[in-house]
Amino acid sequence: MSQDVLTPARINEIHKEAGRRRTFAVISHPDAGKSTLTEALALHAKVIGTAGASSGKANRKETVSDWMQMEKDRGISISSAALQFSYRDTVINLLDTPGHADFSEDTYRVLAAVDCAVMLVDAAKGLETQTMKLFEVCKQRNLPIITVINKWDRPGLDALALMDEITERTGLQPMPLTWAVGISGDFRGVWDLRNDRFARFQRNNAGAQIALTEYFTPEEAAESQGSNWTDAVDEAGLVIESNLEFDVDAFHAGKATPILFSSAALNFGVKELLDALVDFAPPAAPRPDVDGSPRPVESPFSGFVFKVQAGMNKAHRDHVAFIRVCSGVFERGMVVTQTRTGKSFATKYAQQVFGREREVIDEAYPGDVVGLVNASSLRVGDSLFLEDSVEYPAIPLFAPEHFQVARSKDPSKFKQFRRGIEQLEHEGVIQVLRSDVRGDQAPVLAAVGPMQFEVVEDRMAHDFSAPMRLERLPYSLARISTADAMPALANVPGAEVLLRSDGEYLALFNDVWALRRIEKNHPDLTLVPIGTHNPAK
């Protein structure tokens, strides 16, 4: 299909295809079951035959969305992954996110590329620290949130208490779409409020296959389930009475959150979530550019890079840039323009990604995620366009809190060491800070969480054959500064100024007391908290 003049038929086609897309992220506190839910959704859409989750992490097989060796070894996601599949004539673009707070930067990048979020809440733990942080990020990005109370097959909190916690701590009004029949730890099924029926679940092959489900009328449910059924109806009724019945506009406006109950490990309540996403989640819509002007979906092709990843294919050492298609039709082989550099980029090698599996894709529509292979010139946040220039908002870097000096263990492998550090910096795995004093032999690695250093060590040893050693630095605070601060703080104890690859100067301090001392003694220096300035382009 060529990029020809937009006829009414062509515009209708693009709008129809955009309307079929549901692009969302699964987010939560670590160990709430994100990767397990991701596989369960793919299982119910019949794009995989057997789920990898079994009775717990100790017995769990690797999931389709976990492809790094560290992910397989530890049973957690440390890198976001993209899955695309069809369900009910709808194209699902599902982005799994890292399962650890140390990789919150990667999660933030993913949230920049989706239209909705599925927030997974552990039934036994409620809204945890990372859950609340993610709620705030979604709120800032105006992302509608579907809340799934997971692990209801295990002992946990009271359902009404969870609803109160959601209301009080997030400000979102719960709107039940399903309600658990049976207390946590005794999961009988759910009351499907939309269809007014009881869905009774029965595990199938220890949860590795789709749960057996039978449907009953309310009268049949009352007879077979007794007080478990009447309690569920009464509880859901109280929530609806005190909040509101399901209102899709309130959901899209970020004022309310649909509620569903599930056990992802047993595949209970997963089909109901898929149906809710198809029926209520927002489709691909015009996305605002850097000036806040929405670019119509029928405009010529545009998109932006939200993730860069190397080493997914060990045989070819490839380099994949994941782009979110924002407008028009992406066609493999088209030559697009990179907004940041003004240079052309040929999209000859374009793939649809399903975890570790990939296949060539010839075209994609707004909402789709496309992997561009051998895209070494692309960076996270880059905008791409055809014909009409556009720049989408930058994806800001987080404030690092941990700092270590990296050195090659083998001086003869310095070229591999330097190339590996540059590659990991390019992917956004780590922030790299440099100075003339330290030189290229000893760059400073800056991280949001300490586990990022473990990923860097693992990737450097296995992907680049350049083992390195790390030396911890005492700094814990970073501020945006200017070149003037470098000589001013050159010999000041507890402080150092380094240059980041995006052109920002970061002033590092041992602690808040060192920062205050510098602010007092050098009131002329620029020291701005990270996140309160405009990110460099």
How many Å apart are CA 12 and CA 19, to the nearest integer? 10
Domains 22-280 and 402-529 share a fold: no
Q: What is the pLDDT of residue 273?
A: 96
Annotation-wise, does 288 bind a ligand?
A: no
Q: Specify the CATH number of the domain 402-529.
A: 3.30.70.3280
99 marked as part of a ligand binding site = yes
At residue 495, the pLDDT reads 95
Question: Strand (E) positions, 193-230?
Answer: 197-202, 212-216
Contacts (Cβ under 8 Å, ≥6 apart) of 491:
none
Q: Single out the residue of 80, 68, 89 nearest to residue 38, CA to CA.
A: 80
Domain boundaries, the chain: 22-280, 287-385, 402-529
Give the angle subtended at the CA of 311 by the CAs of 306 and 317, to the nearest 5°: 120
Which pLDDT score, from 0 to 100, does residue 337 have? 96
Q: Is 493 annotated as a binding residue?
A: no
Q: Hey, which residues does 468 pair with through a beta bridge?
A: 408
pLDDT digits (tens, 9 = 90+) for 174-203: 999 999 999 999 999 999 999 999 999 998
**97 is known to lie in a ligand binding site:** yes
Residues 44, 92: contact at Cβ < 8 Å?
no
Write down the pLDDT at residue 320. Answer: 86
CATH of domain 287-385: 3.40.50.300
What is d(CA 409, CA 423) in angstroms, rounded to the nearest whole number?
Answer: 18
The overall average pLDDT reported for the chain is: 86
CA distance linking residue 497 with residue 490, whole number of Å:
8
Output the CA torsion sign for 315, 319, 322, 323.
Answer: negative
HSE (CB half, 13 Å, CA atoms) of 137? 27
The pTM of the whole model exceeds 0.95: no
Separation between Cα atoms, residue 116 and residue 293, nearest integer Å: 20
| Ligand-binding site membership of 98 (annotated) | yes
Question: Given this model, what pLDDT does residue 231 score?
Answer: 96
Closest CA to 280 of 270, 272, 288: 272
Residue 90 host element (H or E): strand 90-96
Distances (CA, A) of 370 to 92, 109, 127, 170: 13, 15, 33, 33
pLDDT for 59 = 40
Give me the phi and psi of 64, to 5 degrees please: -65, -25
- The tokens for 504 are 């920002």
Element of type H or E holding 452: helix 451-463
Residue 55 is predicted with a pLDDT of: 31
In tens digits, the chain (537 residues) has pLDDT values of 445 567 888 899 999 999 999 999 988 887 888 888 888 888 887 766 554 433 334 344 444 444 445 444 544 443 446 788 899 999 999 987 765 565 667 778 889 999 999 999 999 999 988 888 888 888 888 999 999 999 999 999 999 999 999 999 999 999 999 999 999 999 999 999 999 999 999 988 767 788 899 999 999 999 999 999 999 999 999 999 887 778 999 999 999 999 999 999 999 999 999 999 999 999 999 999 999 999 999 999 999 999 887 655 555 456 789 999 999 999 999 999 999 999 999 998 888 765 556 788 899 999 999 999 888 889 889 999 999 999 999 887 778 999 999 999 999 999 999 999 998 888 888 899 999 989 889 999 999 888 889 989 998 998 889 999 999 999 999 999 999 999 999 989 999 999 998 889 999 999 999 999 999 999 999 999 986 433 333
- Looking at residue 54, its pLDDT comes to 30
Residue 79: per-residue pLDDT: 45
Q: Which of 312, 357, 348 is nearest to 330 (CA)?
A: 348
- Looking at the DSSP bridge assignments, the partners of residue 173 are 256
CATH dotted code for 22-280: 3.40.50.300
Helix axes 159-170, 227-242, angle to 10 degrees: 20
The DSSP letter of residue 102 is G
